[in-house]
Structure 1
Amino acid sequence: MWQDLMKHVKIYGFLLKINAMRQLEYRLNIALNIMVEMGYLLVKLIYAYVIHDTGVHIAGLSPDSIYLFIGTYMLMTVFFVSMLQFNIVVFDQQIRDGDFDLILTKPISSQFMATLKHVDTWISIPNVIVGIGLIAYGWQASDVPVSVGNILGFMAYVALGIVTMYGLFVLPLLLAFKFKNIAALQSFYWAMWDFNNLPHKIHFRPVQLIGAVVFPLFLITNWSPLFILDQLSMIEMMWGVAAPIMLFCLTRLMWKKALRHYESATS
C-alpha cells in the first residue's frame, strides 16, 4: 500500500511538471489569468478589511481571527480550482466521448487519472501568496502561540480538509456513469463552496450540524483555524480526523461499484 501511494505521489509530481510546461506555451494567457485573479484578490481583501473594520465578534471570535478563516478559504480555493475544477468540468464529457475508456487501459488508478490529471498551476500563485499572508497576519493578530503543536495541527487539518474536499466533490461525479450528462452540478459545486468563506458558527445551529456532520463541507476550511484558536471540542477534533477518512473510503468503494456497471460509450 505504501509503495502504491508513493507511486501515485511521484506520478502527480510529474503531472504538475507537465501541466506547468504545457501552460507556458501560452504565456500571455498566463499573465492575463494572473491579472484577473489579482482583481478577484483585491475584492476579497477589501471584503476581509470591511468585515474586520466593523469590529464585530462573530460567534465569540475576534475580528482579527477572521483573517485566519478568509486566508484558509483562499488557500483551499487554490486546491479546489487547481486540482479539481477542470477535472470536474470534463468528467462527464470523457464518459460521453469514450475518452474514459483510454484511462481504463492505464496501469494506474482510473480514479486518480480521471479526477486529478489536469492541474492548473500558475493561476494559483497569487492566491497562495495572499492566502498564506492573511493566515500569518491573522495568526499574529489573534495572539495564537507559534508552537510546533499549533503549526502541525493546522497543517494536518488543512491536509484533512483537502481529503474532505476531494471526497465531497468527487462523489457526485459518479452520477455521470449512469446519466452521462451532469453539467447542472457545476452551479451546485460553487454554491456549496461559498459557504466556507466565513466561520460556520455564523449559521443557524441546524445548518452547522448539516454542514459539519451530514455533508461535512465546513471541515474543509473551518477546522484548521478553529484548532489553533482552541475552539474545537475533543469530539469535533476526532470527527475532523474520522470524517475525511470515512469519506475517502466511501468514495473509493462507490467508484469501484460504479466501474462494475460502466458501459463504454464506444460499445
Structure 2
Amino acid sequence: MWRQFLKHLKIYALLIKLNAMRQLEYRVNIVLGLLVEIGYLGVKLLYAYIIHDTGVHISGFAPQSLYLFIGTFILMTVFFVAMLQFNIMAFDRQVIEGEFDLILTKPVSAQFLATLKYVETWMVIPNVIVGLGLVGYGWYASGIAFDLLHVGLYLLYAVLGIITMYCVFTLPLLLAFKLHNISAFHSLIWALWDFNNLPHRIFPSPIQIIGTVFFPIFLITNFSPLAIMGQLSLVEMIWGVLAPLLLFLLTCRGWRRAISSYESGGG
C-alpha cells in the first residue's frame, strides 16, 4: 500500500510538471488569468480589512483572528482550483465520450487519474502568497505561539481538510456513471465552497451540525484555525480526524463499485 502511495505521488508530481509546461504554451492566458486572480484577491483583502477595521467581535472571534480563516480559505482554494475544479467539470464529458474507457486501461488507479490528472499551476501563485501572508498576520496578531505543537496542529487539520475536500467534491461524480450529465452539480460547487469563507460558528446551530457531521464541508477550512486557537473540543478534534478517513474509505469503495458496473459511454 505504501509503495502504491509513493508510485501515485511520483505520477502526480509528473502531472504537475506536464500541466505547467502545457500551460506555458499559452502565456497570454496565464497573464490574463493572473490579473483576474489578483483582482479577486484585492476584493478579498478589502473585505478582510473592512471586517478588521470595524473592531467588532463576530461570534466571539476577535477581528484579527478572522485573517486566519480568510487566509486558510484562500490557501484551500488553491488546492480546490489546482487539484479538483477542472477535473470535476470535465468528468461527465469523459464518461459520455468514452474517454474514461482509456483511463481504465492505464496501469494506475482509475480514480486517481480521472479526478486528479488536470492540474492548474501558474494562476494559483498569487493565492499562495496572499493566503500565507494572511495566515501569518492573523497568527501573529492573535498572539498564538509559533511552535511545533501549533504548527503541527495547523498542518494536520489542513491535510485532513484537503482529504475532506477531495471526498466531498468527488463523491457526487459517481452520479455521472448513471445520469451521465451532471452539469447541474457544477453550478453548486462554488456556492458550497464559499460557505468556508468565515468561521462556521456564525451560522445557526442546525447548519453547523449539518456542515460538520452530515455534509462535513466546514472541516475543510475551519478546523485548522480553530485548532491553533484552542477552540475545538476533544470530540471535535477526534471527529476532525475520523471524518476525513471515513469519507476517503467511502469514496474509494464507491468508486470500485461504480467501475464494476460501468458500461462504456463512447459507443
1:63 counterpart = 2:63: yes
Q: Which ranges of structure 2 fall in alignment gaps of 5 or more residues?
A: none
Q: Which residue of 1 aligns with 2:81?
A: 81
Mapping of 1:129-168 within 5 angstroms? 129-168=129-168
For the 8 Å contact 2:99–2:266, the answer to whether it is kept is: no
For the 8 Å contact 2:95–2:266, the answer to whether it is kept is: no
SS of 2:183 mapped into structure 1: coil
CA distance in 1, matches of 2:56, 2:244: 32
**One-letter code aligned to 1:206:** P
String of CA shifts for 1:109-157, please: whole Å, max 9, x gaps.
Answer: 0000000000000000000000000000000000000110000110111
String of CA shifts for 1:34-56, please: whole Å, max 9, x gaps.
Answer: 01100000000000111111111
Q: Which residue of 2 aligns with 1:109?
A: 109
**Structure 1 residue 266, shift from structure 2 partner:** 3.1
**Structure 1 residue 188, shift from structure 2 partner:** 1.3
SS of 2:263 mapped into structure 1: coil
Q: Which residue of 1 aligns with 2:210?
A: 210
**One-letter code aligned to 1:42:** G
**One-letter code aligned to 2:127:** N
SS of 1:184 mapped into structure 2: helix
CA distance in 1, matches of 2:195, 2:115: 23
Identity among equivalent pairs (%): 61
Taking structure 1 as the reference length, the TM-score comes to: 0.99
CA distance in 2, matches of 1:251, 1:58: 35
CA distance in 2, matches of 1:228, 1:7: 33
Q: Which residue of 1 aligns with 2:223?
A: 223
CA distance in 1, matches of 2:17, 2:176: 29
1:51 counterpart = 2:42: no
CA distance in 1, matches of 2:188, 2:29: 28
Q: Which ranges of structure 1 fall in alignment gaps of 5 or more residues?
A: none
CA distance in 1, matches of 2:65, 2:52: 9
CA distance in 1, matches of 2:41, 2:266: 44
1:245 counterpart = 2:250: no
How many correspondences in the alignment?
Answer: 267
**Structure 1 residue 27, shift from structure 2 partner:** 1.0
**Structure 1 residue 260, shift from structure 2 partner:** 1.2
CA distance in 2, matches of 1:152, 1:14: 28
CA distance in 2, matches of 1:133, 1:156: 19
CA distance in 1, matches of 2:256, 2:34: 38
**One-letter code aligned to 1:102:** L
Alignment root-mean-square deviation, CA: 0.6
